[in-house]
Structure 1
Amino acid sequence: MITRREQSINAIIARLPDRQHVVVSNREPYVHKRTRRGTVVERPPGGLVAALDPMMQAVGGVWIAWGSGSADREAVDARDHVWVPPEDPRYVLRRVWLPPDVVERSYYGFANQALWPLCHMAVDKARFRRSYWQGYVEANRIFAAATAEEAASGAFVWMQDYHLAVAPRQIRAARPDLLLVHFWHIPWPVWDVFRTCPEAQRRALLEGLLGSDLLGFHLDRFRQTFLECVARELDAEVDVENGFVDYHGHRTTVRSFPISIDVEAFDTLVRSRETVRWMARWRARPEIGDRRVAIGVDRLDYTKGIPERLRAIDRFLRKHPYYLERFVFVQKAAPSRTRIKAYRQLQERVERMVAEINARHGRHGWRPILYIPESIPPAALAALYRLADVAVVSSLQDGMNLTTRKALPRRSRRP
């Protein structure tokens, strides 16, 4: 029986039968790393790679991404190409090399200290520094140059996320023959928030994205807020109802494309023997046992509402002492972007709150919060979803949080 993923891939092939497929993203689908055992190839976690790698394996083409692995340069040929996946090569990974200062100013600077907080309504954390912006434009230029070099005539180019907002216009200037599509993975802010970005930078962001032929957002309200920002900032013709923007002789179609998870693949995982074994391991832990389980699964980010969630757990136990020793909250929180001060401070705050709440309510070897910052296997995480009576999603602002999609399809809590 054909799966939904296969149906989706076949639909893409049918719609674009004679075009080369080019994916452009900051994150690469395969990373070469040096270890004591030699060079290993890792597939990074995350929805982007999980969603697009199967498609690229099916249709072929080129994936252009930043080569961030310690052994990435050693794995490529003279054209910075490496065929992937290594066990069954299906498409070319073209790596681009970003100078360390550009990475610092672009990825750790403008992308994650200006755009990310801006789009998640955390304006107090936004840092709009000129050097950050210059690094961001330079990083986009490097990606754009690689795309113009790799793309065949008329290729379908699919750019990803907020790291590459100005690249579409840069690519169009060099290669007007290409079909340019950009998908924005995070929220788009309302005008009153967006205008806190310096005028020259916000105009360049809008003009950059309008270099695309098709621009996609997760939710229709993000599509609408983007169109409002265009109408207020640029001298463009904006058709909100039909999702068209005409600017400087070019039309961009703006649409919403809600996404989900691969339900069939996840269902196979949660029903697997490995997941059942992990369910037994979790139950064997003294903090869990046969207690009621609530879970939170997040990257450690100030947009996810984790401190607010912990305060709610503390308040719940204060108001309902009946649940002491009858309930455990499991927080899987992967640290991220720890080179940025705001993220280090958040990690310290969360760890301090967990310790305080466990000290306040813990007894007889039981702790109300089981905090898991380390990486765990997919089957271990799937087992937590199956064990959970409650899944908590308390993001302050989010693009398309997929935790609920993984919590809802689970079958039985018991193996």
Structure 2
Amino acid sequence: MAPTQTASVLVASNRGPLSYALEDTGRLTARRGGGGLVSGLSAIGPDTDAVWVCAALGDGDREAVRRTGGALDPEDTGGQRVRMLDIASDVYADAYNGIANSVLWFVHHMLYQTPLEPVFDAAFRRQWAAYEAYNRAFAEALAQEAAQGAAVLIQDYHLALAPRMLRGLRPDLRIGHFSHTPWAPPDYFRLLPDDIAAQLLGGILGADRAAFLTRRWADAFTDCCHAVLGPGIPAGTRIGVHGLGADADFLRRRAHEPDVDERMAALREQIGSAPDGSARKAIVRVDRTELSKNIVRGLLAYEELLDTRPEWRERVCHIAFAYPSRQDLAVYRDYTAEVQRVADAVNSRFGTPDWTPVVLHVKDDFARSLAAYRLADVALVNPIRDGMNLVAKEVPVVSDEGCALVLSREAGAHEELGDDALTVNPYDIGGTARALHEALSMGPQQRADRTKRLAAQATALPPARWFLDQLAALEG
């Protein structure tokens, strides 16, 4: 494709702002997504010439690229310029599942069972070549689309090599890279082969500015640079921190639409009433069945609560939303099955004809998630490790009556919310059970006061402001 070089602001990410489904009739239907980037890009205003570069993720996306040449129909995108890349499916699979999700995600979330994994063999090197090709495709597309001196915001671990590659193609550009994950400490990061570790760090250091969700992750990146590359950060790269917050206006508006009210009524029926007729308390969690989310230990902590604090039996219900994630990887399928097994075991052990201790939902339903946010007496957010965790920020914003937050110290959100949350070590089942008891026992006024402070912290940097702050820092 010939260079167009017209965009003054560019965003690059694996997943774009919309996706396509291909119907049996051959008709394509577009579905627009949400999230911080979508909100952020809309904040720069219609007068700014901006383009979003993303990858085709499925057959519908690939067909849309074939029909449009990759420049998506503005009617589908809401007027936003989107360029979608049809990277060869085998290259994409090796880059996305082989490297991004099965290596980089595992390193940064410290998920490996090190007696057996990782194994960096010839198959890994083949997949790494695909990861390089995937990043190169993005760098070339950005170089084609960017006007002279444009600002480019490259997103996340999928595209760690792209800043350096783009710098080689277009030294005139102002390039930022943002990491949405945690960053591993040096000892763990150096599980990677030395040349790969250096290439990843050098790729991000090709940016003018490397930014992270918390100071902790930024410091870990700097420590890795020192350990792998030697003392000092290249003078051309600045380090920044932008703690993405919840979109309060959107959440509060969306949480009071009729479909959410319907889901609340259904959840109340599932929760039921205690034997004395009072409303049962609700412990809520909303997660993907991602290994780092620690759902199984959360269920085990709830089981220990019921075991050691029998006064809560039949007086509390654990509403657990565990939406399937990355089911094309066997380890994720196994984990999803274990979540179901443990939930069934808790219900078998403690359940009665009138009480289901764990109500587990596995079908993704945003309206139902918001309904649970509104109903929650306690929110359980106990990840092993998490870049931020927006659920921890969203629940206090939406809660009707105030909600106690039980929060892992390993969530990025803990940096901002820790003072008003009940902090837990995510591996400590007994400690988490005790925190759940404390949260359930909290008086309504204390809970409401904490929720108010949590909501204020959670919305300090909403998505549009988060995006604009990065753009301003890159231009400064």
TM-score (normalizing by structure 1): 0.87
Tell me the equivalent position of 1:263.
248
Aligned residues: 384
CA distance in 1, matches of 2:77, 2:291: 38
Give the letter aligned to residue 358 of structure 1. N
Give the letter aligned to residue 249 of structure 2. E
SS in 2 for 1:261: coil
Point out which structure has higher relative CO (alpha carbons under 8 A, 6+ apart).
2
Tell me the equivalent position of 1:116.
105
SS in 2 for 1:41: strand
Give the letter aligned to residue 266 of structure 1. L
CA distance in 1, matches of 2:332, 2:380: 21
1:20 aligns with 2:5: no
Tell me the equivalent position of 2:350.
361
RMSD: 2.2
Deviation of the 1:273 alpha carbon:
4.1
Tell me the equivalent position of 2:267.
282
CA distance in 2, matches of 1:233, 1:283: 53
Tell me the equivalent position of 1:86.
76
Tell me the equivalent position of 1:214.
209
Deviation of the 1:412 alpha carbon:
2.2
Tell me the equivalent position of 1:31.
19
Deviation of the 1:78 alpha carbon:
5.3
1:41 aligns with 2:26: no
Give the letter aligned to residue 239 of structure 2. V
Tell me the equivalent position of 1:99.
88
Deviation of the 1:126 alpha carbon:
4.2
Tell me the equivalent position of 1:252.
237
1:155 aligns with 2:140: no
CA distance in 2, matches of 1:127, 1:96: 30
CA distance in 2, matches of 1:176, 1:213: 11
8 Å CA contact 1:30–1:85 kept in 2: the answer is: no
CA distance in 2, matches of 1:34, 1:72: 8
CA distance in 1, matches of 2:393, 2:157: 23
Deviation of the 1:53 alpha carbon:
4.7
Mapping of residues 228-239 of structure 1, within 5 Å: 228-235=223-230, 237-238=232-233
Tell me the equivalent position of 2:424.
none
SS in 2 for 1:42: strand
Deviation of the 1:168 alpha carbon:
0.5
CA distance in 2, matches of 1:277, 1:196: 49
Structure 1: unaligned runs, 5 residues or longer: 1-17, 239-244
Structure 2: unaligned runs, 5 residues or longer: 1-5, 403-476
Q: In the superposition, relative to structure 1, how do residues 288 and 401 fare at CA in structure 2: closer, same or farther (>3 Å)?
A: farther
Q: In the superposition, relative to structure 1, how do residues 98 and 288 fare at CA in structure 2: closer, same or farther (>3 Å)?
A: farther
CA distance in 2, matches of 1:49, 1:21: 13
CA distance in 2, matches of 1:28, 1:75: 13
Deviation of the 1:367 alpha carbon:
1.2
TM-score (normalizing by structure 2): 0.76
8 Å CA contact 2:218–2:241 kept in 1: the answer is: yes
SS in 2 for 1:152: strand
8 Å CA contact 1:34–1:71 kept in 2: the answer is: yes
8 Å CA contact 1:19–1:154 kept in 2: the answer is: no
Q: Matched residues, percent identical? A: 32
Give the letter aligned to residue 175 of structure 2. L
8 Å CA contact 1:117–1:126 kept in 2: the answer is: no
8 Å CA contact 2:18–2:77 kept in 1: the answer is: no
CA distance in 2, matches of 1:292, 1:286: 8
Tell me the equivalent position of 1:196.
191
1:336 aligns with 2:325: yes
8 Å CA contact 1:166–1:208 kept in 2: the answer is: yes
CA distance in 1, matches of 2:259, 2:197: 48
Give the letter aligned to residue 160 of structure 2. A
Deviation of the 1:263 alpha carbon:
1.2
Give the letter aligned to residue 256 of structure 1. V
For residue 287 of structure 2, the aligned residue among 289, 298, 305 is 298
Q: In the superposition, relative to structure 1, how do residues 70 and 101 fare at CA in structure 2: closer, same or farther (>3 Å)?
A: closer
Deviation of the 1:265 alpha carbon:
1.5
